[in-house]
Structure 1
Amino acid sequence: MSGEAKRRLRMKIGIIGAGQIGGTLTRRLSELGHDVRVSNSRSPETLADLANDTGATAVWAKDAAADADLVIVSIPQKNVPDLAAGIVDARKPGAPVIETNNYYPQQRDGEIAAIEDGQVESAWVAEQIGAPVYKVFNGIWWKHLLQSGAPSGAPNRIALPVAGEDGPGRDLVHGIVDQLGFEPVDAGPISESWRQQPGTPVYGKDFDADDTRTALAEATAERTSEWTARAS
């Protein structure tokens, strides 16, 4: 079986967070035929409308990752420490974990000292949940994620940077990005994922693959005044 065929097999996907990005991924991945379980910080009953609209199964957050081939964490950064211990541990062995989060210190999250002191946002998330992560979907507007996908090879196809370790997990994540209609771009390891954080040249842009690579290369690690809680 080809790698492409394997990527298009129906997968069990657990999504923790049902906001604009998590809810949109629930909708799109269900449309692609995947078995999606979605959760929020409340009870499954509060997701009845989303479940009815998409065919996804609403579950408690602690159950979202059970036996999953892929887990997606998409919640406000400040709420990550509130997740149950071992929240993603019940996924299948080797199943990748995507985190779509952004640190918005002035706009929503308040100060997270470790990040302000220099820890990369996604490395902080990985530390909190006790599992390595891939960073993707953090810089695209949810409406474009819902509506702007295009087939592989389409001109000016929107590219999405993917940071994380190489190997089968990256292959699976790249395959999901491609299925959703976007061009996956290798953005290096999580230690380099600051290149796609808020305030960087690629963040919030609908660049193609070449322009995405250029923007990642032009990023600087220093936080601008808009994206720090310690602005003077």
Structure 2
Amino acid sequence: MTQTIGFIGMGPVHCTLARLSVSAGYHVLISTFPCTSATAELHSGTDATPEKIARESDLIVLSIPFPDFTRLSPADFIGKVIVDTTNYFPCTNGIIPALEDRSATSSELIQRFLKGSLVVKALNNLDHHHLGNGPRPAGAADRWALPVSSNDAYAKARVFSFLDRIGFDAVDNGSLADSWRMEAGMPVYVLPYIVEPPAGLTDDERRTWFRAERIRSVPPGKVRTLLARATHTGRVGGYAEDLPSGLME
């Protein structure tokens, strides 16, 4: 029986993951957040409500602006495995004291709000260009690995399987309390997977470069090393100026 992956969110990461899921043979449901031209490529399952997605999906991928998780209805998601791809960017999300003082991780806040769900932090540390060109078959020498955190072993195993099917290896990063190691601004976030474009390119040329570029090797061992290098020093969250221009466009 074909599994159904539900997508609640907006933006290019949301749409790229939906396309990868269709290519991997999953049935896809997409929330009413705009997916631009990507919805036409997915053929069916678009324009579902979050309530329908919660009811009918085997796995739910959450790709909304971080503070918007409070717009969801916790009762709808009891017992559901939720892949949290969100990141905390203070300049756009506003300052969140519990994150700034490191008393909680962003995924822990989502788990506390969506009581009874099974939150898994994953797929948050790649930009949409490299999510799109990153997948490789199982066993490929250049297959990328991505970190995964959850408080629930069953949910984590489900997401390991999902990542494998869409073309990535998975590295266990412990519980949601450990997920700070893979959050925006940490060593494993985005930069290890990309190469800066050649000098002198226009903005359009830089975007084209990022869509095609896939040079670096990021196997499981390297991901573990990057996770181990994370520290609780410096500022919390992601900042656009820390990433190459054109990458997130």
1:149 and 1:157 in contact (8 A); partners too: yes
Counterpart of 1:12 in structure 2 is 4
Verify: 1:126 aligned to 2:111, yes or no: yes
1:16 and 1:39 in contact (8 A); partners too: yes
Indicate how the Cα distance of structure 1 residues 122 and 223 shifts in structure 2: closer, same or farther if over 3 A, else same. Answer: farther
2:151 and 2:176 in contact (8 A); partners too: yes
Q: Deviations over 1:138-189 (max 9, x none)?
A: 0011111112211122113211001113533222110111111111111111
Counterpart of 1:36 in structure 2 is 28
Measure the CA separation in 2 of the matches of 1:227 and 1:192: 17
Aligned-partner SS, 2:83 = strand
Query: 1:84 deviation in Å?
Result: 3.2
1:105 and 1:227 in contact (8 A); partners too: yes
Correspondent of 1:221 among 223, 232, 236: 232
Q: CA RMSD in A?
A: 2.1
Counterpart of 1:109 in structure 2 is 93
Kindly, what percent of the aligned residue pairs are identical?
29
Measure the CA separation in 2 of the matches of 1:196 and 1:165: 15
Indicate how the Cα distance of structure 1 residues 56 and 162 shifts in structure 2: closer, same or farther if over 3 A, else same. Answer: farther
Which residue identity does 2:16 align to in structure 1? T
The within-5 A match list for 1:134-213 is 134-204=120-190, 205-206=192-193, 207-213=218-224
Q: Structure 2-normalised TM-score? A: 0.78
Query: 1:33 deviation in Å?
Result: 1.8
2:88 and 2:237 in contact (8 A); partners too: no
Counterpart of 1:80 in structure 2 is 69
Correspondent of 1:100 among 85, 92, 99: 85
Query: 1:12 deviation in Å?
Result: 1.3
Q: Deviations over 1:210-229 (max 9, x none)?
A: 1100111111123427749x
Q: Deviations over 1:7-48 (max 9, x none)?
A: xx521111111312111111111122211111144xxxx558
Q: Structure 1-normalised TM-score? A: 0.83
| Runs of 5+ consecutive residues of structure 2 not aligned to the other structure | 194-217, 240-249
Aligned length: 211
2:62 and 2:85 in contact (8 A); partners too: yes
Measure the CA separation in 2 of the matches of 1:134 and 1:13: 14
Correspondent of 2:53 among 40, 60, 64: 64
Measure the CA separation in 2 of the matches of 1:105 and 1:47: 24
Query: 1:137 deviation in Å?
Result: 0.6
Indicate how the Cα distance of structure 1 residues 28 and 128 shifts in structure 2: closer, same or farther if over 3 A, else same. Answer: same
Q: Deviations over 1:49-72 (max 9, x none)?
A: 433311241212222111321111
Query: 1:85 deviation in Å?
Result: 4.0
Range that drifts further, 96-105 or 160-169: 160-169
Aligned-partner SS, 2:6 = strand
Aligned-partner SS, 2:19 = helix
Aligned-partner SS, 2:179 = helix
| Runs of 5+ consecutive residues of structure 1 not aligned to the other structure | 1-8
Measure the CA separation in 1 of the matches of 2:23 and 2:224: 29
